Structure 1
Amino acid sequence: MRLATLRTNGTTVAARIDGDTAIPITPYADLSALLRNPDWRTLAADADGPPLSLDVADYAPVVPAPTKIVCVGLNYANHIEEMGRELPKYPTLFAKFPEALIGAHDDIEVPGYADQQVDWEGELAVVIGRKATAVSAAEAGDYIAGFTVANDVTMRDYQYRTQQWLQGKTFEKTCPLGPVLVTADEFALGAALTTSVDGITRQSDSTGDLVFTPDRLIEYISHIVTLQPGDVILTGTPGGVGHADHSYLGDGATLETTIEGLGALTNTVRVRSVAAVH
């Protein structure tokens, strides 16, 4: 199945996407709420309300209210090489907050004091479907609701102010997530991931080249903190980020992130004037 959180008539609704129409999954306002119901899969499959046209609906972040977003750095060998690092023994983890999330076609809002080194990081995102505490890699697949597309837009100058990355990774309204959640039974690793800037391809790799697979990430993370339904894991980015050759996103740039079988994000960078506090 393909599921989404849609904006329509001043509110949002969880929906199943059937071709060019959406079937509301009532009474759930978004996929975050739906996934908290253990019967979410049956509810989504059985939904039969009046269809919505995707021409008049807008994609919100596919899971707008995760309890946590766990991100993985340095998880493709070629990206590790271009950043001058060694292959890790353990996943490199950092956090992102829900305020960072935007929809598949929303603008990336960059404050003017942080617009000098705005970088792209196209990523496969995993959405958790049931509570996961200390699960094994062998059983981790049973805890995955599905997969979606993300771009971990990063303010590199803020990221490298200290040895901790958080401050460069969670600026509000900078991380597109969507457009849809494709359930785990309909997606397999090995799909092509591409990121383009103003129509020029900058990243191109296979999601099969992850150093740590989703199953291994769930195993590792769930031994640290319990993963809740609707939580998100960003699995890392391949080579081709702008920081490697010091090229960055400017005002008006169009960022497109595509994963074969999952869909595409298309977002425009908008730099807004805000006074900085240092």
Structure 2
Amino acid sequence: MKIARFFDGQRTRLGQVDILRGVVTPLALSNDDTAAFIEARLAHPGAATATAGEAVALDKIKLLAPLVPHRNIICVGKNYRAHAKEFSGSGFEAGAVKGQEIDEFPAVFSKPPSTVIADGETVDLHPTATQAVDYEAELAVIIGQGGRDIAAADAMKHVFGYTIVNDVTARDRQKNHKQWFLGKALDTFCPMGPWIVTADEIDGANLDITCHVNGELRQQASTRDLIFDIPTLIATISAGLALKPGDVIATGTPAGVGIGFTPPRFLKADDEVVIEVGGIGRLSNRFA
């Protein structure tokens, strides 16, 4: 099942997407709170997915971010070996040590809900705050059943589905402040979408990821290449921290980001970044 948030010209709704027909059918819900929908589906699967009204063509509605997080998005850094090496060698990782590019434990940070925008919306380059805006194509995990101290062996039972995020980063702020939050947390710095695909439809451990900038292929990898896989991430993050329905975990980006080039290739006004993840779809945003 593919679940989208959309504006139909009158109100914001959740709906079930049919890609083959190119339509979305509204769900019979009183609001567009995706986290509440996830909880309702866990409790009453049939009732939560009941539809109401006729299907609407996708090109007749405005897609919104599929989920407005109630809490910060939980993000993982340096989770592909080639990217960990390019980051360490770029000069933008504070404290980088040659030969120690691969971490023993996941690097975890967060982005506030104010960073989230939808497919097709514009990312603000924030020229007064940064001169080094970069892209990061990522698979994001949406938590279904909440829990604390989740064992890796049980972790996939807690996954509701998946979406795509672009973990946009101000590299100069990331380097200068010697931590990641200020470089990751600028408004509009987390495009998300186009919808959520439920975990029964795809295997998050075996998805192809590509990223094009202005039509040029920059990133190409598979989630098979993750250093810390999804069960490990859920187990690590939930240790002492209760995850809740609708929480989002961004799993990290492959090699090929802007700082991986010499000189670095940062984004500029009117650039377009298009991320595709197999089984999910396409997330496209321009920068200004």
TM-score by length of 2: 0.90
Structure 1 partner of 2:209: 193
- Matched position secondary structure for 2:46: helix
Instruction: Give the superposition deviation at 1:82.
Output: 1.1
Partner residue of 1:35 out of 23, 35, 38: 38
Residue 34 of structure 2 contacts residue 66 of structure 2 at CA under 8 Å; is this kept in 1? Answer: yes
CA distance in 2, matches of 1:7, 1:35: 20
Residue 69 of structure 2 contacts residue 248 of structure 2 at CA under 8 Å; is this kept in 1? Answer: no
CA distance in 1, matches of 2:192, 2:268: 20
Structure 1 partner of 2:106: 91
2:194 maps to 1:179: yes
Structure 2 partner of 1:223: 239
**1:24 is matched by which residue type in structure 2?**
P
- Matched position secondary structure for 1:130: coil
Q: 1:162 to 1:223 in 2, by over 3 A?
A: same
Deviations 1:65-108 (A, max 9, x none): 33231000000011011122521111100011000000011111
Q: Which runs of 5+ in 2 are unaligned?
A: 89-99
CA distance in 1, matches of 2:165, 2:106: 18
- Matched position secondary structure for 1:55: helix
Structure 2 partner of 1:14: 14
Identity, % of aligned pairs? 34
Deviations 1:148-175 (A, max 9, x none): 1111000101111122110000111121
- Matched position secondary structure for 2:60: coil
Residue 66 of structure 1 contacts residue 232 of structure 1 at CA under 8 Å; is this kept in 2? Answer: no
CA distance in 2, matches of 1:185, 1:177: 20
**2:4 is matched by which residue type in structure 1?**
A
CA distance in 2, matches of 1:27, 1:65: 18
CA distance in 2, matches of 1:95, 1:224: 17
Instruction: Give the superposition deviation at 1:35.
Output: 1.7
Residue 125 of structure 2 contacts residue 268 of structure 2 at CA under 8 Å; is this kept in 1? Answer: no
Structure 1 partner of 2:287: 269
CA distance in 2, matches of 1:11, 1:111: 30
Q: 1:155 to 1:269 in 2, by over 3 A?
A: same
Structure 2 partner of 1:249: 267
Structure 1 partner of 2:51: 47
Q: 1:35 to 1:203 in 2, by over 3 A?
A: same
Q: 1:43 to 1:153 in 2, by over 3 A?
A: farther
Equivalent runs, 1:6-155 vs 2, <5 Å: 6-19=6-19, 20-25=22-27, 26-37=29-40, 38-39=42-43, 41-84=45-88, 85-155=100-170
CA distance in 1, matches of 2:219, 2:285: 16
Q: Which runs of 5+ in 1 are unaligned?
A: 271-278
Residue 67 of structure 1 contacts residue 228 of structure 1 at CA under 8 Å; is this kept in 2? Answer: no
- Matched position secondary structure for 1:252: coil
Residue 127 of structure 1 contacts residue 147 of structure 1 at CA under 8 Å; is this kept in 2? Answer: yes
CA distance in 2, matches of 1:162, 1:195: 27
Instruction: Give the superposition deviation at 1:48.
Output: 4.3
Q: Identify the range of structure 1 (145-154 vs 82-91) with the bigger mean alpha-carbon deviation.
A: 82-91
**2:190 is matched by which residue type in structure 1?**
C
Instruction: Give the superposition deviation at 1:10.
Output: 4.6
Q: Identify the range of structure 1 (79-88 vs 256-265) with the bigger mean alpha-carbon deviation.
A: 79-88
After the TM superposition, which segments of 4 or more aligned residues of structure 1 sit over 4 Å from their partners? none
Residue 22 of structure 1 contacts residue 53 of structure 1 at CA under 8 Å; is this kept in 2? Answer: yes
CA distance in 1, matches of 2:151, 2:168: 31
- Matched position secondary structure for 2:236: helix
CA distance in 2, matches of 1:150, 1:43: 29
**1:131 is matched by which residue type in structure 2?**
G
Number of residue pairs aligned between Structure 1 and Structure 2: 270
Structure 2 partner of 1:274: none
Deviations 1:45-65 (A, max 9, x none): 432432222112112111113
CA distance in 2, matches of 1:192, 1:56: 29
**1:156 is matched by which residue type in structure 2?**
R
TM-score by length of 1: 0.93
CA distance in 2, matches of 1:40, 1:54: 27
Instruction: Give the superposition deviation at 1:236.
Output: 0.2
